[in-house]
């Protein structure tokens, strides 16, 4: 078990033999949040059964966030020479001016995305109308909290003004857009928030609602137990995912270091989420053609329980991969390298668990209609698996810029589960032949790529 002081984020990356390089977050941060989430679930479904779902969602989010924030601030303060919060007794004109400029910059940033949400709410009412109404109603409170945050963190900023400060000058027409530093990175970071915060809120609302419905009609039937635990995994994942997108703050060391720059990386990620996911569903229908496991294995006895337990184990791995991130979960960004928890064993535990579980849940390999239909359905799921493979590879390429990630890759490639499995296979004749064939295939494809100028230009453009 990890100690409270382990994984100090200021340690330099080196190559470790027995243990991976230090993680950006302590394993205790996620465990504290998970404990608070559990307590919040017990409270709201025991004493507030008839309260609206939105109240349950907000209380669960608040309890989990506050618990992790208190722990994380205490952990980070142990390794700071100066105290984290040191408010000036009397605000100076310069500090108030900086806060005002940053507020103007934040306003200038939010306006185009707000207009976009207003337009989307007209076309996608079921998904965005509730979020739009909530944003409009809570905008005064949000503005007050943003101003308070800017004032508190004024002394924590780097000596050089940030992008919001420069955008404030743009709003006052004292500076041109082209002279704002890191502007492209700034818009990419806000694009990530704009895309995924609404999705995260919609997901957590839906999962808590389904979880509440299952509890009200719960029996100890196998499928009821499975459904309860399976949805609970999504509740945990969506809570920590939502917190991750919202709590991107430098004073928590959970700020965004960099965002994905490649077109392919954005495409491979966004196609897995609404609204672009609807385009994928036009020709990927394995969830419709495949025989669901609970139907095919309904009367299989012990084998049914084993199958269900395997799916739940994968769901637990999927949720664990999000919990261990604490405040740092986010797509398309680098917010610190996580090397503990499931990432100690796999580079991409969430993708691995999700893709394997789909094969077990939808069972596209079962011959319910004909061999061509089964093969076609399996091919569709393989295509989705390939999309997640692209996501993994583009993420690796992005994170490779971070020296901490390079140290982690060197370690996981030698001591991870797949590395150890590869070492075992290489001791067999079949394993040696298999990996020799893969090396030959990789070399052949590399040579083919090197000979094609068109392929080079295309890959460099999207990669």
Q: Residue 461: which pLDDT band, with cuts at 50, 70 and 90?
A: low
Inform me whether the pLDDT recorded for 418 exceeds 90.
yes
Classify the phi-psi angles of 301: left when phi > 0, otherwise alpha if psi is within -120 to 50, otherwise beta.
Answer: left
**What's the start-to-end Cα distance of the chain, in Å?**
39
Tokens for 213, please give them.
Answer: 């419905």
Q: Shortest CA distance to 257 belongs to which of 324, 203, 333? A: 333
Looking at residue 84, its pLDDT comes to 54
- Which residue would you say has higher pLDDT here, 81 or 299? 299
φ, ψ of residue 129 to 5 degrees: the values are: -65, -45
pLDDT tens string 40-94: 999 999 999 889 998 899 999 999 999 999 999 888 776 655 555 555 556 677 7
pLDDT at site 281: 83
Query: At residue 5, does pLDDT exceed 50?
Result: no
Higher-pLDDT residue of 291, 54 = 54
d(CA 34, CA 63): 10
pLDDT at 6: 44
Given a cut of 50, whether residue 149 has pLDDT beyond it is yes
More confident residue, 318 or 5: 318
- Alpha-carbon distance 367 to 380, whole Å? 15
pTM of the model: 0.89
Question: Given the structure tokens 């109240």, which residue do they identify?
Answer: 55
Residues 332 and 260: beta-carbon distance below 8 Å: yes
What is the token pair recorded at 200? 């995260």
The predicted structure's pLDDT at residue 98: 85
Above 80 in pLDDT, residue 3?
A: no
CA distances from 137 to 113, 140, 143, 213, 285 (A): 17, 8, 12, 28, 39
Q: pLDDT class for 8, splitting at 50, 70, 90? A: very low
Q: Are 21 and 408 in contact (CB under 8 A)?
A: yes
Whole-number pLDDT of residue 343: 98
What is the C-alpha radius of gyration for the chain, rounded to an integer number of angstroms? 24
Strand pairing report for 333-334 and 258-259? antiparallel
Main-chain phi, psi angles of 275, to 5 degrees: -90, -10
Question: Distance (Å, rounded) from C-alpha 276 to C-alpha 287?
Answer: 17
Count of alpha carbons within 13 angstroms of residue 35, beta-carbon side = 9
On the 0-12 / 13-18 / 19+ scale of CB atoms within 10 A, 279 is: exposed
SS3 172: coil
Higher pLDDT, 17 or 315: 315
**Could you tell me which of 399, 374, 114 has the C-alpha nearest to residue 257?**
399
The pLDDT value given to residue 181: 87
Flag whether pLDDT at 286 surpasses 80. Answer: no
Quick: pLDDT tens for 365-382. 775 667 787 788 889 999
How many Å apart are CA 256 and CA 335, to the nearest integer? 5
pLDDT computed for residue 322 by the predictor: 98
pLDDT tens string 306-356: 999 999 999 999 999 999 999 999 999 999 999 999 999 999 999 999 999
- Angle of CA points 410, 414, 415, to nearest 5°: 115
Q: Find all residues with CB under 8 Å of 389, minimum gap 6, and list them.
A: none
pLDDT of residue 33: 98
Query: Tokens in use for 154?
Result: 């004024």
Would you call the peptide bond into 275 cis, given omega within 30 degrees of 0 as the criterion?
A: yes
- The pLDDT of 379-390, averaged and rounded, is 94
Residue 258: in which H helix or E strand, if any? strand 258-259
Q: Which residue has the higher pLDDT, 2 or 45?
A: 45
Higher pLDDT, 230 or 277: 230
**Mean pLDDT, residues 150-169 taken together:** 79
Q: Which range has the top average pLDDT, 83-87, 271-275, 393-397?
A: 393-397
7 pLDDT above the threshold of 60? no
User: Residue 353: which of 321, 320, 318 has the closest Cα?
Assistant: 318
Distance (Å, rounded) from C-alpha 390 to C-alpha 268?
Answer: 6
The residue among 9 and 221 whose pLDDT is bigger is 221
Residue pLDDT, tens place only, 197-227: 989 988 999 999 999 999 998 888 888 999 9
- Which of 150-164, 321-335, 412-426 ranks highest by mean pLDDT? 321-335
């Amino acid at each position: 078990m990890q100690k409270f002081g382990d994984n100090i984020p200021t340690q330099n990356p080196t190559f470790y033999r027995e243990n991976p390089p230090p993680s950006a977050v302590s394993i205790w941060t996620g465990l504290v949040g998970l404990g608070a989430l559990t307590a919040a679930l017990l409270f709201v479904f025991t004493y507030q059964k008839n309260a609206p779902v939105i109240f349950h969602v907000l209380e669960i989010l608040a309890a989990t966030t506050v618990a992790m924030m208190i722990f994380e601030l205490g952990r980070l303060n142990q390794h700071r020479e100066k105290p984290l919060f040191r408010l000036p007794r009397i605000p100076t004109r310069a500090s108030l001016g900086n806060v005002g400029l940053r507020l103007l910059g934040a306003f200038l940033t939010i306006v185009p995305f707000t207009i976009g949400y207003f337009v989307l709410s007209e076309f996608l009412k079921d998904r965005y109308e509730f979020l739009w109404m909530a944003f409009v109603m809570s905008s005064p409170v949000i503005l007050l909290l943003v101003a308070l945050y800017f004032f508190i963190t004024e002394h924590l900023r780097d000596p050089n003004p940030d992008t919001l400060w420069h955008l404030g000058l743009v709003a006052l027409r004292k500076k041109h857009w082209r002279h704002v530093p890191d502007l492209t990175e700034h818009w990419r970071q806000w694009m990530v928030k704009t895309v995924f915060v609404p999705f995260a809120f919609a997901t957590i609302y839906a999962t808590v609602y389904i979880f509440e419905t299952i509890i009200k009609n719960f029996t100890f039937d196998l499928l009821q137990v499975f459904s309860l635990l399976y949805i609970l995994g999504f509740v945990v994942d969506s809570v920590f995912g939502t917190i991750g997108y919202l709590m991107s703050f430098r004073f928590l060391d959970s700020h965004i270091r960099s965002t994905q720059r490649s077109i392919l990386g954005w495409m491979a990620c966004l196609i897995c989420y609404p609204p672009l996911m609807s385009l994928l569903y036009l020709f990927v229908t394995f969830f419709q053609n495949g025989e669901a496991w609970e139907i095919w294995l309904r009367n299989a006895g012990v084998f049914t329980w084993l199958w269900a337990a395997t799916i739940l184990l994968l769901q637990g791995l999927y949720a664990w991969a999000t919990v261990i991130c604490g405040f740092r979960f986010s797509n398309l960004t680098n917010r610190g390298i996580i090397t503990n928890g499931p990432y100690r064993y796999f580079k991409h535990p969430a993708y691995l668990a999700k893709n394997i579980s789909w094969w077990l849940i939808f069972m596209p390999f079962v011959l319910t209609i004909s061999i061509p239909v089964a093969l076609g359905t399996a091919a569709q799921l393989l295509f989705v698996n390939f999309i997640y493979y692209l996501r993994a590879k583009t993420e690796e390429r992005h994170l490779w810029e971070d020296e901490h990630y390079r140290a982690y890759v060197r370690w996981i490639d030698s001591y991870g589960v797949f590395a150890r499995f590869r070492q075992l296979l290489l001791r067999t004749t079949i394993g040696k032949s298999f990996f020799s064939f893969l090396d030959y295939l990789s070399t052949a494809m590399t040579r083919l790529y090197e000979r094609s100028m068109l392929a080079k230009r295309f890959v460099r453009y999207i990669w």
